[in-house]
Amino acid sequence: MKVAVLGASTSKFGELWSLSPRVLLKEVVTEALNSSHLKLGEIDAIFVGNMLSGILGGQEHLGAFVAEELGVTIPAFKIEGACASGGLAVHAGVTSILSTLYKKVLVVGIEKMTDHKPEDTTSALMGAGSDEERTSGATFPSLYALIARAHMEKYGTTEEQMAQVSVKNHYHASLNGKAQFTFPITVDQVLKSPLIASPLKLLDCSPVSDGAAAIVLSSENEITQKIKPVWITASALATDTLGLAQRKDLTSLSSAQKAAQKAYKQSGLKPEDIDVAEVHDCFSIAEIIAMEDLGFFPRGLAAKNIALGKTRLGNKLVVNTSGGLKASGHPVGATGVKQIVEITNQLRGVAGKKQVKDAQIGLTHNVGGTGATAVIHILRN
């Protein structure tokens, strides 16, 4: 399969109190269209990734909202899959082109989270969990803390090794002017930060964020000479149980494993072929598990290798050059689209100070909840 990414844009992520969803939307769509050398009138459909617009913003009719704001009457769809909403929107855009129903589509991911009380946002996010988890008072930090404990007991993973994930991603974010946190941190700072859900500390956790991202996708037959596209050569997803209690193993996400296997098969590539990856590090333990689910490291060895710096800029495989969810920010509906933007920029060689040398093949890994949904994309020049 081959679907072209023609344009890509992301807003700054963070506490964007002065910017409305309408402003964020127009910013990223304008930039994505400009970089694709297309006009809005050439777009056949719009796919919008979002999780919380209905719960927090009171607006569930988001496809029509976006179309109205852009001044078009073309088909527009809201796609929801918890924190994987952006990745699902990309998948929907890709499959719509592969079906030949549409030739050029706009995919937008957007979320406005910081305007609301923390307890309201936390409750809304738990809409991605199971009934049992919600009624027991669980939150996603506590659920990922259970995952972390299971991984620590099975493989000997340490809190210091988990802290190294945050340190690495903050370093990458310090090179990304659009990241929420553009400053480096140390292992000691992570370990001494406030305890959220043992063993996870504040600096093991991704923040609440606002932001938007957009990409323009096109069929292979619609490419002109104006721009050299980046190609999506795999788009795969899988699902699992909503709750952790129904899982056989808490040390991996079977949805991510299955989606990755499908993506490698679709693209004809292997884990060792990937140069740069954006993975769903909602918590530090999540990146460690992702490295193992994606086949980058054997089971139980990812934490050690990350701590040794093997996924930092300058190495063969570089992970979360944007700063990941941890430091770039996590406006949940926008994250999966932002990942595609980052990999597209890397493969085009326009990622600035965080550019991976000679990057040719990239992967994105976007997860909803504790792995009830996982979406994998593979891109290449």
Q: Which residues are catalytic?
A: 83, 330
| Residue 262 tokens, joined | 């499908």
Other C-beta atoms closer than 10 Å to the C-beta of 71 total 8
Angle at 80 between CA 103 and CA 107, to 5 degrees: 30
On whether the CB atoms of residues 52 and 111 are closer than 8 A, the answer is yes
User: Could you give phi then psi for residue 50, rounded to 5 degrees?
Assistant: -160, 145
Angle at 82 between CA 113 and CA 263, to 5 degrees: 130
Residue ranges of alpha helices (H) inside 268-368 are: 284-293, 302-307, 324-328, 332-348
Query: First-to-last CA distance in the chain?
Result: 13
Pick from 184, 181, 189, 180: which is nearest to 159 by CA? 189
